[in-house]
Amino acid sequence: MFTTSSFFLGCPQICTYTTQGEDGLEHTGKLSADSLLAVFPEPEKVPQDAWWVFVHGEEVALRIRPCPAAVVPEDPFRDTLMPGDRLYLGLRGAVPCYAGCVRDQAAVPDDWQFTRIRDLYLRIPDEEMAIASFAVRMVAFDRNTRFCGRCGAKTLPVPAERAKECPSCGLVTYPRISPAIIALIRRGDRILLARSSRFPSGMFGLIAGFVEPGENLEHALRREVMEETGISVRNIRYFGSEPWPFPDSLMIGFTAEYAGGELTVDPRELESASWFDREHLPRIPEKLSISRALIDWWLEGSADGPSRDVPDPDRR
Ligand SMILES: [Zn+2]
Protein backbone atom coordinates (compact mmCIF):
# COMPACT_ATOMS: atom_id res chain seq x y z
CA MET A 1 0.00 0.00 0.00
CA PHE A 2 1.32 3.42 -0.92
CA THR A 3 0.18 6.33 1.22
CA THR A 4 0.85 10.02 0.96
CA SER A 5 0.91 12.65 3.63
CA SER A 6 1.93 16.27 3.63
CA PHE A 7 3.11 18.78 6.18
CA PHE A 8 3.98 22.41 6.43
CA LEU A 9 7.27 23.71 7.78
CA GLY A 10 6.93 27.34 6.90
CA CYS A 11 8.02 26.55 3.34
CA PRO A 12 6.07 25.45 0.29
CA GLN A 13 4.07 22.35 1.09
CA ILE A 14 6.03 19.16 0.51
CA CYS A 15 4.72 15.65 0.05
CA THR A 16 6.19 12.79 2.05
CA TYR A 17 5.56 9.13 1.49
CA THR A 18 5.44 6.10 3.69
CA THR A 19 4.90 2.51 2.71
CA GLN A 20 3.21 -0.29 4.57
CA GLY A 21 2.81 -3.72 3.08
CA GLU A 22 -0.46 -5.60 3.26
CA ASP A 23 1.35 -8.37 5.10
CA GLY A 24 1.84 -5.99 8.02
CA LEU A 25 5.56 -5.52 7.50
CA GLU A 26 6.17 -1.88 8.00
CA HIS A 27 9.02 -0.32 6.13
CA THR A 28 11.67 0.85 8.59
CA GLY A 29 14.11 2.51 6.22
CA LYS A 30 14.72 6.19 6.80
CA LEU A 31 17.02 6.25 3.78
CA SER A 32 14.68 4.53 1.31
CA ALA A 33 14.24 6.86 -1.63
CA ASP A 34 10.96 5.20 -2.61
CA SER A 35 9.29 8.54 -3.23
CA LEU A 36 11.45 8.80 -6.36
CA LEU A 37 9.95 6.97 -9.31
CA ALA A 38 12.38 5.51 -11.86
CA VAL A 39 10.60 6.89 -14.92
CA PHE A 40 12.80 6.81 -18.03
CA PRO A 41 13.83 8.20 -20.48
CA GLU A 42 14.55 11.46 -18.75
CA PRO A 43 12.79 14.64 -19.95
CA GLU A 44 14.39 16.36 -22.93
CA LYS A 45 14.53 19.64 -21.05
CA VAL A 46 14.79 20.45 -17.37
CA PRO A 47 11.41 21.94 -16.40
CA GLN A 48 11.27 25.22 -14.53
CA ASP A 49 9.67 23.54 -11.50
CA ALA A 50 12.26 20.73 -11.26
CA TRP A 51 13.51 19.55 -7.86
CA TRP A 52 17.26 19.81 -7.22
CA VAL A 53 19.80 18.27 -4.85
CA PHE A 54 23.30 19.75 -5.02
CA VAL A 55 26.17 17.38 -4.39
CA HIS A 56 29.85 17.97 -3.78
CA GLY A 57 31.76 14.74 -3.16
CA GLU A 58 30.02 12.95 -0.29
CA GLU A 59 28.18 16.07 0.89
CA VAL A 60 24.95 17.78 -0.14
CA ALA A 61 24.02 21.44 0.00
CA LEU A 62 21.62 22.28 2.82
CA ARG A 63 19.58 25.45 2.60
CA ILE A 64 19.53 26.89 6.11
CA ARG A 65 16.84 29.56 5.76
CA PRO A 66 13.90 30.09 5.75
CA CYS A 67 13.76 26.44 6.85
CA PRO A 68 16.29 23.62 6.38
CA ALA A 69 15.92 21.88 3.01
CA ALA A 70 18.13 19.75 0.76
CA VAL A 71 15.64 19.04 -2.06
CA VAL A 72 14.61 22.39 -3.47
CA PRO A 73 12.65 23.76 -6.45
CA GLU A 74 15.36 26.26 -7.29
CA ASP A 75 18.87 26.34 -8.69
CA PRO A 76 21.09 28.69 -6.72
CA PHE A 77 24.20 27.08 -8.24
CA ARG A 78 23.14 27.50 -11.86
CA ASP A 79 25.99 29.85 -12.67
CA THR A 80 28.57 27.28 -11.57
CA LEU A 81 27.03 24.11 -13.06
CA MET A 82 28.55 22.87 -16.32
CA PRO A 83 26.28 21.16 -18.90
CA GLY A 84 27.51 17.70 -17.84
CA ASP A 85 27.05 18.41 -14.14
CA ARG A 86 23.36 17.50 -14.08
CA LEU A 87 22.08 14.01 -13.31
CA TYR A 88 18.45 12.97 -13.69
CA LEU A 89 17.27 11.01 -10.64
CA GLY A 90 13.62 10.22 -11.43
CA LEU A 91 10.22 11.70 -10.73
CA ARG A 92 9.23 13.04 -7.34
CA GLY A 93 5.49 12.90 -7.64
CA ALA A 94 5.03 14.18 -11.19
CA VAL A 95 8.05 16.49 -11.18
CA PRO A 96 11.56 15.51 -12.35
CA CYS A 97 14.30 15.57 -9.75
CA TYR A 98 17.98 16.20 -10.53
CA ALA A 99 21.32 16.07 -8.80
CA GLY A 100 23.56 19.04 -9.54
CA CYS A 101 27.27 18.25 -9.24
CA VAL A 102 28.88 21.30 -7.71
CA ARG A 103 32.58 21.48 -8.54
CA ASP A 104 33.54 24.41 -6.37
CA GLN A 105 32.27 24.37 -2.80
CA ALA A 106 33.48 27.93 -2.41
CA ALA A 107 30.63 29.00 -4.70
CA VAL A 108 28.05 28.16 -2.05
CA PRO A 109 25.56 31.05 -1.70
CA ASP A 110 24.60 32.70 1.58
CA ASP A 111 22.16 30.66 3.66
CA TRP A 112 23.53 27.38 2.25
CA GLN A 113 26.15 24.98 3.55
CA PHE A 114 27.50 21.59 2.50
CA THR A 115 26.65 18.82 4.95
CA ARG A 116 27.21 15.09 5.38
CA ILE A 117 24.11 12.91 4.90
CA ARG A 118 24.27 11.67 8.50
CA ASP A 119 24.16 15.25 9.74
CA LEU A 120 20.88 15.89 7.91
CA TYR A 121 19.01 13.49 10.22
CA LEU A 122 16.26 15.28 12.18
CA ARG A 123 17.10 18.56 10.41
CA ILE A 124 14.99 17.78 7.33
CA PRO A 125 12.18 15.26 6.65
CA ASP A 126 13.31 11.63 6.21
CA GLU A 127 11.98 11.58 2.65
CA GLU A 128 14.19 14.51 1.71
CA MET A 129 17.20 12.96 3.44
CA ALA A 130 16.61 9.74 1.47
CA ILE A 131 16.56 11.61 -1.85
CA ALA A 132 19.69 13.54 -0.89
CA SER A 133 21.40 10.29 0.04
CA PHE A 134 20.30 8.70 -3.25
CA ALA A 135 21.65 11.71 -5.15
CA VAL A 136 25.09 11.27 -3.53
CA ARG A 137 25.08 7.60 -4.52
CA MET A 138 24.07 8.28 -8.11
CA VAL A 139 26.68 11.01 -8.51
CA ALA A 140 29.30 8.57 -7.20
CA PHE A 141 28.02 5.88 -9.59
CA ASP A 142 28.26 8.31 -12.49
CA ARG A 143 31.78 9.32 -11.48
CA ASN A 144 33.01 5.75 -10.96
CA THR A 145 31.67 4.31 -14.21
CA ARG A 146 32.83 6.79 -16.80
CA PHE A 147 34.96 4.08 -18.38
CA CYS A 148 34.13 0.45 -19.04
CA GLY A 149 35.53 -1.95 -16.43
CA ARG A 150 36.09 -4.60 -19.12
CA CYS A 151 37.63 -2.80 -22.09
CA GLY A 152 38.31 0.73 -20.83
CA ALA A 153 36.20 2.57 -23.42
CA LYS A 154 34.17 5.61 -22.42
CA THR A 155 30.67 4.61 -21.28
CA LEU A 156 27.30 6.18 -22.09
CA PRO A 157 24.15 6.45 -19.96
CA VAL A 158 21.44 3.93 -20.84
CA PRO A 159 18.36 5.98 -21.81
CA ALA A 160 15.82 3.53 -20.39
CA GLU A 161 17.22 2.85 -16.91
CA ARG A 162 19.78 3.75 -14.26
CA ALA A 163 22.79 2.16 -15.91
CA LYS A 164 25.85 2.79 -18.06
CA GLU A 165 26.65 0.94 -21.29
CA CYS A 166 29.92 0.49 -23.10
CA PRO A 167 29.52 1.31 -26.82
CA SER A 168 32.61 -0.75 -27.60
CA CYS A 169 32.00 -4.12 -25.90
CA GLY A 170 28.37 -3.76 -24.79
CA LEU A 171 28.97 -4.25 -21.06
CA VAL A 172 26.11 -2.75 -19.02
CA THR A 173 26.97 -1.55 -15.51
CA TYR A 174 24.34 -0.93 -12.82
CA PRO A 175 24.68 0.91 -9.52
CA ARG A 176 26.33 -1.45 -7.07
CA ILE A 177 24.38 -2.67 -4.05
CA SER A 178 26.24 -4.62 -1.37
CA PRO A 179 23.85 -6.71 0.77
CA ALA A 180 24.74 -7.08 4.43
CA ILE A 181 22.92 -8.88 7.23
CA ILE A 182 22.42 -7.43 10.70
CA ALA A 183 21.10 -9.51 13.58
CA LEU A 184 19.49 -8.90 16.96
CA ILE A 185 20.36 -12.08 18.90
CA ARG A 186 18.39 -12.77 22.06
CA ARG A 187 19.28 -15.00 24.96
CA GLY A 188 16.64 -14.99 27.66
CA ASP A 189 16.05 -11.36 28.57
CA ARG A 190 19.37 -10.21 27.14
CA ILE A 191 20.71 -9.35 23.68
CA LEU A 192 24.14 -9.65 22.16
CA LEU A 193 25.89 -6.34 21.54
CA ALA A 194 29.35 -6.01 20.10
CA ARG A 195 31.89 -3.29 19.75
CA SER A 196 34.01 -2.64 16.68
CA SER A 197 37.11 -0.45 16.79
CA ARG A 198 35.43 1.68 14.10
CA PHE A 199 32.60 2.65 16.48
CA PRO A 200 32.55 5.92 18.43
CA SER A 201 33.86 5.68 21.97
CA GLY A 202 31.77 3.45 24.21
CA MET A 203 29.25 2.48 21.56
CA PHE A 204 28.03 -1.07 20.98
CA GLY A 205 25.94 -2.39 18.10
CA LEU A 206 24.57 -5.57 16.57
CA ILE A 207 26.45 -8.24 14.67
CA ALA A 208 26.55 -7.37 10.98
CA GLY A 209 28.47 -8.42 7.90
CA PHE A 210 28.44 -8.59 4.14
CA VAL A 211 26.84 -11.45 2.26
CA GLU A 212 29.43 -13.48 0.36
CA PRO A 213 28.93 -14.69 -3.22
CA GLY A 214 27.06 -18.00 -3.20
CA GLU A 215 25.41 -17.43 0.20
CA ASN A 216 21.80 -16.84 1.02
CA LEU A 217 20.95 -14.42 3.80
CA GLU A 218 20.46 -17.09 6.47
CA HIS A 219 23.82 -18.67 5.71
CA ALA A 220 25.49 -15.27 5.82
CA LEU A 221 23.92 -14.55 9.22
CA ARG A 222 24.93 -17.89 10.74
CA ARG A 223 28.47 -17.58 9.35
CA GLU A 224 29.00 -13.98 10.48
CA VAL A 225 27.73 -14.68 14.00
CA MET A 226 29.85 -17.81 14.29
CA GLU A 227 32.99 -16.15 12.88
CA GLU A 228 32.74 -13.03 15.02
CA THR A 229 31.43 -14.45 18.30
CA GLY A 230 31.68 -18.26 18.22
CA ILE A 231 27.98 -18.87 18.92
CA SER A 232 25.27 -20.54 16.88
CA VAL A 233 21.74 -19.19 16.45
CA ARG A 234 18.28 -20.50 15.64
CA ASN A 235 14.80 -19.23 14.86
CA ILE A 236 15.99 -16.60 12.36
CA ARG A 237 13.18 -14.16 11.49
CA TYR A 238 13.14 -11.33 8.97
CA PHE A 239 12.67 -7.88 10.52
CA GLY A 240 13.12 -5.25 7.80
CA SER A 241 15.69 -3.64 5.57
CA GLU A 242 17.41 -0.34 5.09
CA PRO A 243 19.47 1.15 2.27
CA TRP A 244 22.68 2.22 3.95
CA PRO A 245 24.51 4.56 1.60
CA PHE A 246 27.92 4.55 3.30
CA PRO A 247 28.70 3.82 0.53
CA ASP A 248 26.37 1.27 -1.05
CA SER A 249 25.00 -1.31 1.42
CA LEU A 250 21.55 -2.74 1.76
CA MET A 251 21.19 -3.78 5.41
CA ILE A 252 18.82 -6.73 5.88
CA GLY A 253 17.74 -7.02 9.50
CA PHE A 254 16.85 -10.25 11.34
CA THR A 255 16.10 -11.41 14.83
CA ALA A 256 17.52 -14.70 16.04
CA GLU A 257 17.91 -16.67 19.25
CA TYR A 258 21.02 -18.02 20.89
CA ALA A 259 21.32 -21.76 20.25
CA GLY A 260 24.70 -22.69 21.73
CA GLY A 261 28.42 -22.07 21.95
CA GLU A 262 30.77 -20.01 24.07
CA LEU A 263 30.97 -16.26 23.40
CA THR A 264 34.45 -15.84 21.89
CA VAL A 265 35.27 -12.62 20.08
CA ASP A 266 37.32 -12.62 16.88
CA PRO A 267 39.79 -9.79 17.58
CA ARG A 268 40.20 -9.12 13.85
CA GLU A 269 36.52 -8.15 13.71
CA LEU A 270 35.54 -6.96 17.18
CA GLU A 271 36.99 -5.37 20.31
CA SER A 272 34.42 -6.98 22.60
CA ALA A 273 30.94 -8.49 22.78
CA SER A 274 28.61 -9.16 25.71
CA TRP A 275 25.02 -9.99 26.64
CA PHE A 276 23.10 -6.95 27.91
CA ASP A 277 19.72 -6.67 29.60
CA ARG A 278 17.36 -3.71 29.29
CA GLU A 279 18.58 -2.06 32.49
CA HIS A 280 22.29 -2.09 31.64
CA LEU A 281 22.53 -1.11 28.00
CA PRO A 282 25.69 0.67 26.84
CA ARG A 283 25.65 3.51 24.35
CA ILE A 284 23.76 2.24 21.27
CA PRO A 285 23.53 3.50 17.64
CA GLU A 286 21.48 6.56 16.72
CA LYS A 287 17.90 6.18 15.57
CA LEU A 288 18.84 6.66 11.92
CA SER A 289 20.00 3.05 11.62
CA ILE A 290 18.19 -0.28 11.36
CA SER A 291 20.49 -1.46 14.16
CA ARG A 292 18.74 0.97 16.50
CA ALA A 293 15.31 0.06 15.08
CA LEU A 294 15.96 -3.59 16.00
CA ILE A 295 17.14 -2.68 19.51
CA ASP A 296 14.15 -0.35 20.02
CA TRP A 297 11.81 -3.12 18.87
CA TRP A 298 13.30 -5.38 21.52
CA LEU A 299 13.20 -2.64 24.18
CA GLU A 300 9.52 -2.02 23.51
CA GLY A 301 8.71 -5.73 23.40
CA SER A 302 7.14 -7.83 26.07
CA ALA A 303 9.19 -10.05 28.33
CA ASP A 304 6.72 -12.76 27.29
CA GLY A 305 8.20 -12.78 23.77
CA PRO A 306 9.60 -15.84 22.07
CA SER A 307 12.97 -15.48 23.77
CA ARG A 308 11.45 -16.51 27.10
CA ASP A 309 12.02 -20.21 26.62
CA VAL A 310 15.57 -19.84 25.33
CA PRO A 311 17.98 -21.36 27.84
CA ASP A 312 20.30 -18.88 29.49
CA PRO A 313 22.82 -20.98 31.44
CA ASP A 314 24.66 -17.92 32.73
CA ARG A 315 21.55 -16.82 34.65
CA ARG A 316 21.03 -20.09 36.55
ZN1 LIG B 1 33.69 -2.13 -22.80
**pTM score over 0.85:** no
pLDDT (average), residues 12-41: 63
Q: How far is the CA of 165 from the centre of ligand 1 (A)?
A: 8
Pair (134, 63) in one structural domain? yes
> What is the 139 CA–ligand 1 centroid distance (Å)?
21
Pairwise pLDDT comparison (42 vs 108), residue with the higher score: 42
Whether residue 192 is found in the same domain as residue 296: yes
Q: Compute, in degrees rounded to 10, the torsion defined by CA atoms 275, 281, 287, 293.
A: 40
Distance 154 CA to ligand 1 centre (A): 8
The answer on 171 and 245 residing in a single domain is no
Distance from Cα 151 to the centre of ligand 1, integer Å: 4
Question: What is the model's pLDDT at position 7?
Answer: 30
Domain that holds residue 113: 2-144
Taking the centre of ligand 1 as the mean of its atom positions, its distance from the CA of residue 178, in whole angstroms, is 23
**182 and 171 within one domain:** no
Q: In whole numbers, what is the pLDDT of the chain averaged over residues?
A: 86
CA-based nearest residue to 131, from 156, 109, 100, 85? 100
Cα 156 to averaged position of ligand 1 atoms, centre (Å)? 11
Stretch 211-217: mean pLDDT: 97
Q: How far is it, in rounded angstroms, from Cα 40 to Cα 159?
A: 7
Domain of 86, CATH number, reads 3.90.79
Cα 23 to Cα 79: distance, rounded to the nearest angstrom: 49
Instruction: Report the pLDDT value the prediction gives residue 110, as an integer from 0 to 100.
Output: 85
Residue 157 CA to ligand 1 centre (angstroms): 13
Q: Which of 100, 123, 144 is the last residue of a domain?
A: 144
Asked whether residue 196 falls in the same domain as residue 152, the answer is no
What pLDDT does residue 299 have?
94
Number of domains in the chain: 3
CA of 85 to the centre of ligand 1 (A): 23
Which of 144, 160, 190 is a domain's end point? 144
Task: Please give the distance, rounded to the nearest whole angstrom, from the Cα atom of residue 127 to the centre of ligand 1.
Answer: 36
